[in-house]
Structure 1
Amino acid sequence: MFVDRIKIFAQAGKGGRGCVSFRREKFVPKGGPDGGDGGRGGDVILRADRHVDNLANLFYEPIVRAKNGGHGKGKKMTGRAGADKIVNAPAGTIVWPVQEEKRPTPINREQASSAQRPTSNSDPIVDLTRDGEEFVLCRGGAGGKGNVHFKSSRNRAPRQYTDGEEGEEGYFLLELRTIADAGLVGYPNAGKSTLLRKISAARPKVAAYPFTTLHPIVGVIEFPGYRRATIADIPGLIEGAHRGLGLGHEFLRHITRCQVLVFVIDVAGSEGRNPVEDLQNLRREIDLYDPTLSDRVWLVAANKMDLPNANKNLDALRQRFPKISIVPISAAKGEGLDVLKQALASYCSSFLKLEMLHIYRQVKALRGVDTFVVTKEVQNAEGFPFDDLEVIPKRRTNLLVHGWLKFVERRPPIVYRGEYQTLDSLLERHGADLMHIYFGHTGVHLLPFIEQWDKPCVVSFHGADVAHKPEIKDYPGKLRRLFNAVPLVFARSQSLADRLIQLGCPPEKLRINRTGIPLNEFPLVDRQLPRDGKWKVVQACRLIPKKGVATSLRAFAIFKKDNPGAEFFIAGKGPLQPELEMLAGGLGIARDVHFVGFLPQPQLLDLYASSHLFLHPSEISPNQDQEGVPNSVLEAMATGLPVVATRHGGIPEAIDHGRTGFLVAEEDHVGLANAMQLITSSPALLKRMGEDAHSTVVERFEQDAQIYQLESFYEEAIAMNGAAEPVKSKPIVEIAPQFAERLPVE
């Protein structure tokens, strides 16, 4: 239900009354008065909240009251202050005072809220336009005075006190006027909602009947140059809207804040209308409602250009309005909208393995570009659904080539040369402006295509693709070719960027794009200490050498000696599982170690919520493979889990030693166990570390901020394409010499 106008009754809390009390203590003579004052009543506060889009919350709570203050107490103690009542309202809410004899009831409040209007001589008392802006609608009453205030030389034992003051109260009319940079104005079925769906992430209802949209819907559009704009889909108007016909006033008031008016016209006349007359009538309705709107910047979106008669009517429209910008479009087919969004191809050879959830989140969260995925293999489609997915078909000749390369030359390729033409056709059909290649070794296999394609490519490195790869001949040399062929290179962490520089990547091409965590999916959990020492420890990862699970098992064996009720849950699968199960048996902890495999996100969240510690003692593998910033570490931190990990790769960029967790040396299971014991021995430390861990993810790894930065990198790469010289931007990475000795030497 969408509510944009409602009347409420607000009442602040009453102050508590003063106390009559006298000092009475053992072995002390009778003392004088010590009655404390009453507590202050709570305020009623309006707060603009960008997460609230209408006033529906007040429809179910039209009477808003704050708490009363507590009464004063003896020993001159002031009563407890009443809790404020905070009412969240969308930005753009205007408040007027109104007169009403009766308080609204559930029966008549909807009718009263729509019919009640402010008096002609009343001015709004507040206009909430900024997110987080607050206004005290009703102030709470002051607390009464205790008898200590009435003591005098003539009356040393006063019994007077005063009652608390009444809180302010009143009737108020709240009206929402949508805040947007531009507003889509038009008749019903002109295609406004379809247009908004195409150019933004908003999803208004679209149907083949008029008045599908019954309330304003705001979408966000990403423009080149890292700029964003909001655009509102206003419900369809009819003749006489300025007089209130067809809820005209209820709709028209939402465009009063728009700086630009976009008139969406059915230029094909598919509803039997005349496009020229439609535009004239719409302009007249706007002018009659509010003459100041005629001075706003406006343009025309000539929609439904894919239908018959559209071109003829477009010429007539341009002849009638020769000085007005008229943009021919087809919202249904997405034609004519190229100027608003760039097309991005996300290339991932397999879409998608269970351990690559972070890639799925990133691709799904993109809003400023029109994204489609190119892959050779679809995995776990039910867990990673994606609408615009292009699968490169396998060629029959590839089977023989694949067998030769895999079993004779021992270097199976990810991409075959015969697939380049198919890839080129896909990119051309989608009008791709840029291709983002996930993983450096995939970029190496695509090198011939990258060097010949006339559009730019960017490649992102995630950790394993920086390690030595014997199956790829001259891998470091090909990486240097790759660095020269692309305008930008993405790294998940600073430590990963340092290694790429050592491998020959120019620092000015490197950009740090960290993993983003959707905080709405990983909320902070209020954990309770376990009973009887039943601590629950968890590690979520693939069971491969660099994850250090063997170190975790040895540390848990030590930790369990002092905490016999502890349990260890390992969420993940991998080739080392049989070996790790044997190790747990040899350490005598097999009964309390649970290999639960890869878990769906709801079950993984439940495991995080019920756990108390998270382990991730990563270590450099024999082939020099190391972590960026492990995604599971960030997810655990987001829920408030303290983390004990190692000084490895990008982990120190996420964990502040001693504040959000503890860091030990690689393969140091004794140090790991000591850190676990230190955290669990102090409930205050456990709680503080969990809260600080969540705050760190909010500040450094919040998904929306990382996506916005990534989209700005895309725009930068597109702008660099075809430049006479590479764009010289300030390097955002620094060389870390400590990694130089670990690089493979060819």
Structure 2
Amino acid sequence: MFYDQAKIYVKGGDGGAGAVAFRREKYVPEGGPSGGDGGRGGSIVFVGDEGLRTLVDFRYKRHYKGDRGDHGQAKNMSGRSGTDTVLRIPVGTVVFDDGTGETIADITEHGQRVVVAAGGRGGRGNARFMSNTNKAPTLAENGEPGVEHWLRLELKLLADVGLVGFPNVGKSTIISKVSAAKPKIADYHFTTLVPNLGVVDVEDGESFVMADIPGLIEGAHTGAGLGHEFLRHTERTRLILHVLDISGSEERDPLEDLKIIQDELRLYSPVLAERPVVIVANKMDIPGAEEHLQRLKEAVEGSREIFAVSAATGEGLQDLVYHIAKILPDISAPQILSLPTEHRVTKADPDKRFEIRKEEDLFIVEGPEIEKHVKMTFFDREASVYRFQNILKVMGIDDALRAEGIKEGDKVDIAGVKFDWV
């Protein structure tokens, strides 16, 4: 089964905690602080792999967590950093943040590396907090939490040539005859439900990749008949082969089919409609095909190359392959097209560093910055609590709580940690 979509959860490893320690050596009175820093957490990294063709691996395992960094130690020894978790991913995959819809990465090259969930930095040990006014700090930080989110992966095939056309026009038969691909072939609509890739070998060791895109129907640009599922695979093809049933064997007019599919490509993406196109008039072995072929040539008037073929008998396919191999080197690789409207995201950076909301006598403070400070604070150490109180004052949270009418004894909740207001 071909899998071209997946949803996974990734979390970078948390940083290790900083240490609180002091030198305890003979003949070294009042040794200074020597607590080392924690190690950085391991990140989740995607690496493009041109040898992969599906996202099937992510259907069986959906959760990935990075290694945590080791804690700092005495004698200024830093903790070991966590090992990055490297996940191989097919070239042609677009990575979205499932919560915001933001595009995180577009894997377009073999070996391309993208960090999708960074590991947290290690907490600082008490040696880092020594100053002229505090020679023996007992303050250290916990490790920073790693980045975590749900990702949506969408695979867009990277092929040189894409076969498009109505269902049952012979696309699968063509790719089975010119390559080693073995798609399902039968005499009914939508036999092909997933894209098929085939490598077409030409003389002198030359080759190109051909994709059999499942049949399109009228209204595909709006999503009809899994239209978006199929159309997105045409975005990265350098050349489009528009396959027509030139015999009209299903009581459809080949010229009308040509117009409908071209309109669907244009409505989905105007840039896609400008892609080089070769028209393949298939089923020439069926009576009535010659008459429709003549009508097609008159309608096109030389604006497009037309190849009359019969996928069933193999007639004309060799000439088509040679023509493709001849023109492909002169066709530049397409630029990555704009994503559909539903994927475009406008992000606004809020002026507020935090927000306060009230639930009965509980004041809830929210914001990434203050929540990170909570997670990196050791609340069982007086020096750490004192530093956290200063952070609240510097950020203006103290004044904001007073403005909201907080009173003695009320509770404050930040990142799930509850405090009594004093």
Match of 2:69?
69
Q: Give the letter aligned to residue 310 of structure 2.
A: S
1:471-486 equivalences under 5 Å are none
Match of 1:165?
144
1:215 to 173, 180, 194: 194
Which structure shows the higher strand fraction?
2
1:247 corresponds to 2:218: no
**Contact 1:199–1:340 (8 Å) recurs in 2:** no
1:331 corresponds to 2:331: no
1:291 corresponds to 2:270: yes
1:394-405 equivalences under 5 Å are none
**Contact 2:70–2:79 (8 Å) recurs in 1:** yes
Deviation at 1:233, TM superposition (A): 0.8
Q: For residues 489-537 of structure 1, give each alpha carbon's deviation from its aligned partner in whole angstroms, at most 9, with x where no partner exists.
A: xxxxxxxxxxxxxxxxxxxxxxxxxxxxxxxxxxxxxxxxxxxxxxxxx
Q: For residues 595-652 of structure 1, give each alpha carbon's deviation from its aligned partner in whole angstroms, at most 9, with x where no partner exists.
A: xxxxxxxxxxxxxxxxxxxxxxxxxxxxxxxxxxxxxxxxxxxxxxxxxxxxxxxxxx
Worse-matched range after superposition: 270-279 or 136-145: 270-279
Aligned partner of residue 282 in structure 1, secondary structure: helix
Deviation at 1:70, TM superposition (A): 1.4
Aligned partner of residue 57 in structure 2, secondary structure: helix
Q: Give the letter aligned to residue 326 of structure 1.
A: I
Match of 1:87?
87
Give the distance between the partners of 2:132 and 2:268, measured in 1 at CA. 71
More RCO (CA 8 Å, sep 6+): 2
Q: Give the letter aligned to residue 161 of structure 1.
A: A
1:274 corresponds to 2:253: yes
Give the distance between the partners of 1:235 and 1:226, measured in 2 at CA. 29
Please list every run of 5 or more consecutive structure 2 residues that lacks an aligned counterpart in the other structure: 326-422
Deviation at 1:28, TM superposition (A): 8.2
What's the TM-score once normalised by structure 1's chain length?
0.41
Q: Give the letter aligned to residue 208 of structure 2.
A: A
Give the distance between the partners of 2:164 and 2:149, measured in 1 at CA. 36
Give the distance between the partners of 1:153 and 1:286, measured in 2 at CA. 70
Deviation at 1:241, TM superposition (A): 0.9
Give the distance between the partners of 1:341 and 1:265, measured in 2 at CA. 17
Deviation at 1:266, TM superposition (A): 1.5
Max Rg structure: 1
1:497-646 equivalences under 5 Å are none
Q: Give the letter aligned to residue 109 of structure 2.
A: R
CA 1:204 to 1:321, structure 2 compared with 1: closer, same or farther past 3 Å? Answer: same
How well do the aligned residues superpose, as a CA RMSD in angstroms? Answer: 2.6
Please list every run of 5 or more consecutive structure 1 residues that lacks an aligned counterpart in the other structure: 101-117, 343-367, 369-746
Deviation at 1:31, TM superposition (A): 4.7
Aligned length: 322
What's the TM-score once normalised by structure 2's chain length?
0.70
Give the distance between the partners of 2:30 and 2:150, measured in 1 at CA. 50
Aligned partner of residue 195 in structure 1, secondary structure: helix
Q: Give the letter aligned to residue 246 of structure 1.
A: G
Q: Give the letter aligned to residue 144 of structure 1.
A: G
Deviation at 1:10, TM superposition (A): 2.6
Q: For residues 329-351 of structure 1, give each alpha carbon's deviation from its aligned partner in whole angstroms, at most 9, with x where no partner exists.
A: 12222221223669xxxxxxxxx
**Contact 1:222–1:340 (8 Å) recurs in 2:** no
Match of 2:238?
259
Which structure shows the higher helix fraction?
1
Give the distance between the partners of 2:185 and 2:114, measured in 1 at CA. 37
Give the distance between the partners of 2:219 and 2:318, measured in 1 at CA. 35
Match of 1:641?
none
**Contact 1:223–1:340 (8 Å) recurs in 2:** no
Deviation at 1:265, TM superposition (A): 1.2
1:206 corresponds to 2:182: no
Deviation at 1:27, TM superposition (A): 9.5
Aligned partner of residue 74 in structure 2, secondary structure: coil
1:149 to 122, 128, 137: 128
Deviation at 1:186, TM superposition (A): 1.0
Give the distance between the partners of 1:334 and 1:30, measured in 2 at CA. 91
Match of 2:51?
51
Give the distance between the partners of 2:264 and 2:29, measured in 1 at CA. 84
Q: Give the letter aligned to residue 260 of structure 1.
A: L
Aligned partner of residue 318 in structure 2, secondary structure: coil
Aligned partner of residue 246 in structure 1, secondary structure: coil
Give the distance between the partners of 1:278 and 1:24, measured in 2 at CA. 86
Match of 1:114?
none
Give the distance between the partners of 1:153 and 1:316, measured in 2 at CA. 91
Give the distance between the partners of 1:205 and 1:65, measured in 2 at CA. 39
Q: For residues 329-383 of structure 1, give each alpha carbon's deviation from its aligned partner in whole angstroms, at most 9, with x where no partner exists.
A: 12222221223669xxxxxxxxxxxxxxxxxxxxxxxxx9xxxxxxxxxxxxxxx
CA 1:76 to 1:306, structure 2 compared with 1: closer, same or farther past 3 Å? Answer: same
Percent identity of equivalent pairs? 47
